[in-house]
Amino acid sequence: MGQAVGEAAVRAGLELIPYSFCSSKDSKTKSQIDVGGISVELVGPGQDRDNLIKTLQSQYPNMITVDYTVPDVIHDMVDMYIKHGMPFVMGTTGGDRNRISKEVIESGVYAVIAPNMGKQIVAFQATMETMASNFPGAFSGYTLKVMESHQSSKKDTSGTAKAVVQSFQGLGLNFDVSQIQLIRQPPEQVNVMKVPESALLGHAFHTYQLLSPDGTVTFEFQHNVVGRSTYAEGTVDACLFLAQQVQERAPKTLYNMVDVLRAGAMR
């Protein structure tokens, strides 16, 4: 995902800083990768990241960091951004979201944190939030089934699905996020979720099915994404938005993608 964002940034005419923090496994495999024609050096956890960050902050005073890591290291990464006062955009899911928000707000570090960077999907999420706020209990008594399919390397539950479920709860549905069905096996992804075989390594398919108490009324919402380009483009928009907030020294420091949408900060 990080590479897709880097390529989108290059296409947008932004300056891509040629360094990327990575896992020890990745840094042992190769030392550099090509991102949009730019050679990017991979920096593993055993290397001196603190001094590198200080050097980069001196060379690139308007630097915005993009985080697409894994849930296991999300708190360590947030601690590092706070320690160095690094404005960041985070699309990584997992971790204790309340803890992360609290720490970022208290630190005063500027950040956009969102489980989904896809513009249209974020607009759908915002619409669901508005519906739950304006029509609480509208679906009381209905039953809900939620299925989400991502590439098998994604171990945690979709942050987008969790957010949409929260809106459904506001609409009166008795449903817990633990009931979300994670589809990670290729045969089931193809046969049940209708994921194209060519997209098994990069997709995000979500289905929300609602059934009335008497079984006579059915609602179904779907948002299915093949590839990563829509998330990458949205992430670049978030970077541009955050850079503006930093430049203007906005009193608010923690944002989500709905804030980016409402600001009209989409290209």
All structural domains of the chain, each given as residue ranges with its CATH number in brackets, are: 2-117+230-262 (3.40.50.720), 119-228 (3.30.360.10)
**Per-residue model confidence as pLDDT tens digits over 15-46:** 999 999 987 777 677 789 999 999 999 998 87
Whether the CB-CB separation of 263 and 241 falls below 8 Å is answered with: yes
Predicted confidence band at 266 (pLDDT cuts at 50, 70, 90)? Answer: low
Give yes or no for a contact between 110 and 240, defined as CB atoms under 8 angstroms apart.
no
Q: Which residues contact 63 (CB under 8 A, 6 or more apart)?
A: 17, 56, 57, 86, 87
E strands, 151-190, are 181-183
Q: Where are the beta strands (DSSP E) in the chain?
A: 19-21, 32-35, 38-43, 65-67, 88-90, 111-113, 143-150, 181-183, 203-211, 218-226, 254-255
What is the C-alpha to C-alpha distance for residues 186 and 175, in angstroms, rounded to an integer? 26
- 155-206: pLDDT as tens digits: 889 989 999 999 999 999 999 999 999 999 999 999 999 999 999 999 999 9
Query: Does an H or E element contain 242, and which?
Result: helix 229-248
Catalytically active residues, by annotation: 150, 154
Per-residue pLDDT at 30: 74
Lookup: tokens for 257: 């993608």
